[in-house]
Amino acid sequence: TIKVRFRGITGSGFESDIALDDIKLVDQNTISTTEFESLTDGITIYGEDHLVIQSHKESIRDIVVYDILGRQLFNEIDLHSNKLEIESIKKSNTVLLLKITLENNHVVYRKILF
């Protein structure tokens, strides 16, 4: 938390005081879909026009995709594959929540902008 204080003097002998706190610094830059990050769990999510999920270490068993309102957009069980292309989810610059269950029962949660 950073506290910033502004002090101003107006007129003859009149002082005013303004204090601000709880300022948030937000980075407005976004990563393009051609740039991606493969974290230690080995899951990569990318795509130009449709969503692609790839696991480099362990096969994907199940995957569920939700929108930011919690509506289920996609559900695939018993997939047993290292790569999944979801044609039904088109790029629309919206936040998606993914629940990916790997073959070793490890569950990976991701929040992406797609």
Q: Which two tokens stand for residue 73?
A: 């957009």
Task: Answer whether 63's CB lies under 8 Å from 101's CB.
Answer: yes
Cα torsion 6, 7, 10, 15: sign: positive
Higher pLDDT, 8 or 46: 46
At 50-107, the pLDDT tens digits run 999 999 989 999 999 999 999 999 999 999 999 999 999 988 889 999 999 999 999 9
Q: Which CATH number fits domain 43-113: 1.10.10, 1.10.3470, 2.60.40, 2.70.70?
A: 2.60.40
Sequence ranges of the domains in the chain: 43-113
